[in-house]
Amino acid sequence: MGPFISFVLFLSASAGTSGNPADVPRKFGSMISSLRPFGLEVLERTEVEVAWRGWRVRARKFGDERYGEFQVALDKATSLGRKVKFGLRLRAVAVDMEGFGRRMGICLDLGLSGALSGGWSLGLSAGNPLGSKVGGERLSQDLRMEVSYAGDVKLKAGVEKEVHFPPIFWAEVAYPAAEGLCLYTGASGQEVWAGVGVSLGRFLLVYRTGYHQALGTSQGICLGYGYDLEEVRDLRL
């Protein structure tokens, strides 16, 4: 049971810190998404978020009846200059484990984002730098760096390093194939995925499917309002 708990805590904590808290949009937007790996229900997750004027509230449900996790995160991004933004994320985490009851904790994430020339930008973030714990188990501590380009296509690539695990490299592409239609593809560690998104006015719908060498196939769906199709993220397991 011990290795199982440690494994799930690492996966869920890493998922909770995905995205740079400095990259919160100023305009209003909302999104709900669900991601399910076939054959491993404990990794299923559902997420709801609302963003406006540099603030974002996100709720995430993760797991099954054997292991369940619920997170609520508040992000705040502020400008440090014309091209640099700084972000803070406060996360409240509740973990329910069969036979162990409920455990709760609070942690802080940091992020920095800067615009470079020619449509390029650079982001740096640190997950749980203060080493907060839930029930004696330290939540994942990681560093993340990403480079992105916004032009005819939107490219993102980066690396993230959890203190007890090897680094993971990832890359993703969002390609607007036609007005109101966007194609996605990406790879991360042992996983590859692809997706398609359509927009109707301010509403959007995205479907993705993927394959992980260790976890098998997965699928996910995302419904949103107020975001551009190219802004859809968290397509990884």
**Quick one: pLDDT at residue 18?**
61
Per-residue pLDDT tens, the chain, 237 aa: give them.
344 444 444 444 444 446 899 999 889 999 999 998 887 766 788 999 999 999 999 999 988 778 888 999 999 999 998 899 999 999 999 988 877 788 899 999 999 999 999 899 999 999 999 999 887 888 889 999 999 999 999 999 999 999 888 999 999 999 999 999 999 999 998 899 999 999 998 999 999 999 988 888 999 999 999 999 988 877 887
Q: Which amino acid is at 29?
A: G
Report domain extents, the chain.
Answer: 2-231
For the segment(s) 2-231, the CATH number from 3.65.10.10, 3.40.228.10, 2.60.120.700, 2.40.160.40 is 2.40.160.40
DSSP assignment, residue 16? H
The angle at the Cα of 105, spanning 102 to 111, to the nearest 5 degrees, equals 140
d(CA 152, CA 111): 26
Which pLDDT value is given to residue 14? Answer: 43
Residue 44: per-residue pLDDT: 87
pLDDT at 70: 92
| pLDDT on residue 43 | 79
| pLDDT score recorded for residue 77 | 96
Give the SS3 label for residue 116.
Answer: coil
The two structure tokens encoding residue 222: 């995302």
Alpha helix (H) ranges present in the chain? Answer: 2-16
- pLDDT of 46 reads 93
- 162 and 142 in contact (C-beta within 8 Å)? yes
